[in-house]
Amino acid sequence: MLALIEAWAFGVVLYLFYLFLLWLWKERVETVLVGLFFGTLTAAQFIANKLVDFGVGVAPAGTVIFMTNVAILDVMALYYGRAFALRAVRLGFFFQAAVAFAAWSASVLPPPEWFASRAAVVDSVIAPSARIAVASLTAYIVSSTVDVYIVTRWPRLHVLLRAYSSSVVAQVVDTLVFISLAFGPEVEIIAGQVLVKWLQIPLEALLIYGARRYVATIKK
């Protein structure tokens, strides 16, 4: 459970940093959000190579920053609409594909002899297998699309209810698709990762409420 508490603390720090960036460039809120969306996607992809026992389940270390990515997507969908958020999702898909290709191409370039042993370690971190890459991209595009459609489906509902319900469903879809494609339908792994993700969803309120003031200022 200590790891889960630490994950919450790290999540709070990340959200406060995002809000600081929004405050710093409050005239360009949508640009900052899109930049954070792409950046957190990439960070989560590389940090995911380490697995963590959160006490309630095992999940990649990148789950912490990935859940902030989900919150950023919800903020874009809530305040800028479905079309804006879906464009970001589609661009994110090609961005992630480009990053995966760049990582793979770097891994196949020959290292100098004196660096060979270290290169093997680096390659294991930066270059996912083709199966993992396909699973990751598929899970991302499906779950993010589901998230955007749910969060924008009932505009009269409270923003937190919309964000939380969309995240709860989307994270089941994301985990189910990724684990099934990458490793097979391992029920225990899927259940553990879903639970870890669900327990971090409440933190989304920090970004949703924090960003609203800046968006409202721009739209006046």
* Domain edges within the chain: 2-219
Going by C-alpha positions, the residue among 72, 91, 55, 58 that lies closest to residue 11 is: 72
Place of tokens 């902030």: 68
pLDDT tens across 51-89, in order? Answer: 889 988 889 888 999 999 999 999 999 999 999 999 999
H/E stretch holding 53: strand 51-53
Q: Please tell me the predicted confidence (pLDDT) of residue 75.
A: 97
pTM here? 0.92
Structural contact between residues 70 and 33, judged by C-beta atoms closer than 8 angstroms: no
pLDDT means per 10 residues in the chain (220 residues)? 88 96 93 95 84 89 94 96 96 91 84 81 68 88 97 92 96 94 84 94 96 75
Q: Please tell me the predicted confidence (pLDDT) of residue 118.
A: 80
Give the SS3 label for residue 161: helix
Cα separation values, 21 from 65, 80, 110, 176, Å: 16, 18, 39, 33
